[in-house]
């Protein structure tokens, strides 16, 4: 992937963005993040990796998130009951072949047998259910149980830092978050259900690599709005210029 700076981001901030690119899945076949990506997006990203161009401005949200994670990691490093930024690799056999999954758990509370994932996000994001958060933490719970040879899966929660939290809205609404820190418990599935979910995601990604254009992104994956706009495709997908589904959709909506 190549980067451009059309929005004139200052050089010191660009250097900071580069510094934040620390996580590497190593020799794993999939990171948890990749596993939860739409298979078509990942396949096109691999197919066109040398042609992709992204503006640095699109990295600001992840840069902020990584910076906050670093402070939380450092702040909790001396607590002997906690494990911070635990990187876990585990392998599964899918259709006779081994695949390695890599994940990084933000915080593990050993006393409570709990995994915690930190998010920097908007207040709107925590008002509803985000299935991708539930999927992510269930995979982490599964990897954690394998790593520590535990029969019982850990509990899990999201601790979200709401970047746009409004004190006045909190006072005047019964549904708006009461605090800029929002704690959201995550339902943990049965271990067998998580394993089957992981295997099915692997199969979808492997199949997508055969011919990415034959794969159709769902409305959920495209972040369809009530007005019919494919928000992810139009504003956030860095492979849309290579995607026949996106091009056809734009042509139909002319």
> Residue 11 above 70 pLDDT?
yes
**Interatomic CA distance for residues 44 and 26, integer angstroms:** 21
Name residue 52's beta-bridge partners. none
pLDDT > 90? residue 193:
yes
pLDDT band at 136; cut points 50, 70, 90: very high
Average pLDDT over every residue of 152-159:
96
Model confidence pLDDT, tens digit, residues 69-127: 999 999 999 999 999 999 999 999 999 999 999 999 999 999 999 999 999 999 999 98
Q: Can you point out the beta strands (E) in the chain?
A: 2-4, 30-31, 53-55, 82-94, 97-109, 114-121, 155-162, 181-186
Quote the pLDDT of residue 23: 66
What band does 129 get if pLDDT is binned at 50, 70 and 90? confident
pTM as predicted? 0.93
pLDDT score at 148: 87
Sketch out the chain's domains with CATH numbers.
2-36+58-197 (3.90.320.10)
End-to-end CA distance of the chain: 30
Q: What is the mean pLDDT of residues 15-20?
A: 92
Distance CA 10, CA 13 (A): 6
Q: Does residue 211 have a pLDDT over 80?
A: yes
> What's the CA dihedral at 47, 50, 53, 54 to 10 degrees?
80
């Amino acid at each position: 992937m190549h980067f451009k700076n059309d929005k004139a981001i200052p050089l010191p901030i660009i250097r900071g963005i580069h510094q934040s690119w620390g996580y590497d899945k190593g020799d794993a076949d999939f990171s948890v993040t990749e596993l939860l990506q739409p298979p078509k997006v990942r396949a096109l990203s691999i197919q066109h990796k040398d042609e992709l161009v992204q503006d640095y401005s699109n990295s600001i949200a992840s840069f902020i998130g990584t910076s906050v994670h670093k402070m939380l990691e450092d702040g909790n490093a001396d607590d002997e009951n906690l494990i911070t930024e635990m990187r876990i690799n585990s392998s599964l056999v899918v259709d006779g072949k081994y695949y390695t999954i890599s994940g990084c758990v933000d915080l593990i509370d050993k006393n409570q047998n709990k995994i915690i994932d930190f998010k920097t996000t908007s207040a709107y994001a925590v008002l509803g259910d985000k299935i991708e958060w539930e999927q992510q933490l269930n995979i982490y719970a599964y990897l954690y149980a394998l790593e520590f040879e535990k029969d019982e899966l850990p509990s899990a929660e999201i601790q979200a830092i709401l970047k746009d939290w409004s004190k006045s809205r909190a006072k005047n609404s019964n549904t708006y978050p009461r605090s800029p820190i929002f704690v959201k418990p995550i339902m943990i599935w049965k271990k067998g259900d998580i394993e089957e979910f992981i295997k099915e995601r692997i199969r979808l990604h492997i199949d997508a690599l055969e011919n990415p254009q034959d794969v159709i992104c769902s409305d959920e994956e495209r972040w369809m709005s009530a007005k019919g706009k494919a928000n992810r495709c139009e504003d956030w997908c860095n492979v849309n210029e290579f995607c026949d589904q996106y091009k056809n959709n734009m042509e139909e909506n002319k």
